[in-house]
Amino acid sequence: METEKYIKNNAEELANVKAIAICGSQRKNGNTEYFLKIMLDGLAEQGIETEFVSLQDKTILPCKGCYGCLEKKKCVIEDDFEEIFAKMMAADGIIVGSPVYVARASSLLSALLERATFSGRASGRMLSGKVGAPVTVARRTGQAFASAELLLWYFINDITIPGSMYWNIGVAGAKGARDAVNDLEGIEIMKYSAANMAHVMKALQNYRQANTEKTVDRNTLFFDPKAQK
């Protein structure tokens, strides 16, 4: 896996706060990767540890709907899913990015997110309380539909989505060009979104440090362990 870490010290202490960006593109050094790294740079400037995770050389098969995760407490498909999901569980912020070919997220990213939701809940490993935002990139249009799809994924996984001044969409890639650097508006959108995401992550960290009360057991909202006995 291609993994790059961007760590920058900040005067404001952010102990153990980390964000990852998962790239659902099969192209190395592509436009989706470019925009994701803009966001990671913005988070790093706020003192947040960041990591870029590419799915380019990973095998992630679609969910089989076998319910094996109920018994094994993890996805039973033998591929690279659990490695990526462990990074998602360990992160406080999750950005997912995808190129857009037919007005939806890439099949590779979709397979990851489906299994993260289904097997994550079935095994009691939910993503509740994290912060995230999607990034979609196309040469002309279709990004809004893909963004809506990814926003629904964040919502059902109990992940907080900060608002922004515009949707996190990039315009690049005509005839395969790696030209995201020319989308100046898109770059500023990513920077703005990263700043908002950092603010929410900091606020949530401060809240958790000051409040220790228990919340609703969200693991029972999808699969009730008692009902499985």
Say if residues 50 and 82 touch (Cβ distance below 8 Å): no
pLDDT tens digits, one per residue of 202-217: 999 988 888 876 555 5
Res 223: pLDDT: 52
The CA distances from residue 101 to 86, 131, 143, 145, in Å, are 28, 26, 9, 11
pLDDT at 109 over 80: yes
Q: Which residue has the higher pLDDT, 11 or 191?
A: 191
Res 207: pLDDT: 87
Question: Per-residue b/e over 196-223, b at no fewer than 16 CB within 10 Å?
Answer: bbbebbbebbeeeeeeeeeeeeebeeeb
Tell me which residue of 26, 23, 55 sits closest to 136, measured CA to CA. Answer: 23
Alpha helices in 57-142 (DSSP H): 68-72, 81-90, 107-122
pLDDT tens digits, one per residue of 169-215: 999 999 999 999 999 999 999 999 999 999 999 999 988 888 876 55
Q: What is the CATH number of the domain that holds 36?
A: 3.40.50.360
Could you tell me the residue range of the domain that residue 170 belongs to? 3-228
pLDDT tens digits, one per residue of 33-89: 999 999 999 999 999 999 999 999 999 999 999 999 999 999 999 999 999 999 999
Q: Which class for 115: exposed (0-12), middle (13-18), buried (19 or more C-beta within 10 A)?
A: buried
Say if residues 228 and 70 touch (Cβ distance below 8 Å): yes
Res 228: pLDDT: 47
Mean pLDDT, rounded, for 145-161: 97
Cα–Cα distance measured from residue 219 to residue 229, given in angstroms and rounded to the nearest whole number = 15
Residue 102 is which amino acid?
Answer: V
State how many domains the chain has: 1
Res 7: pLDDT: 37
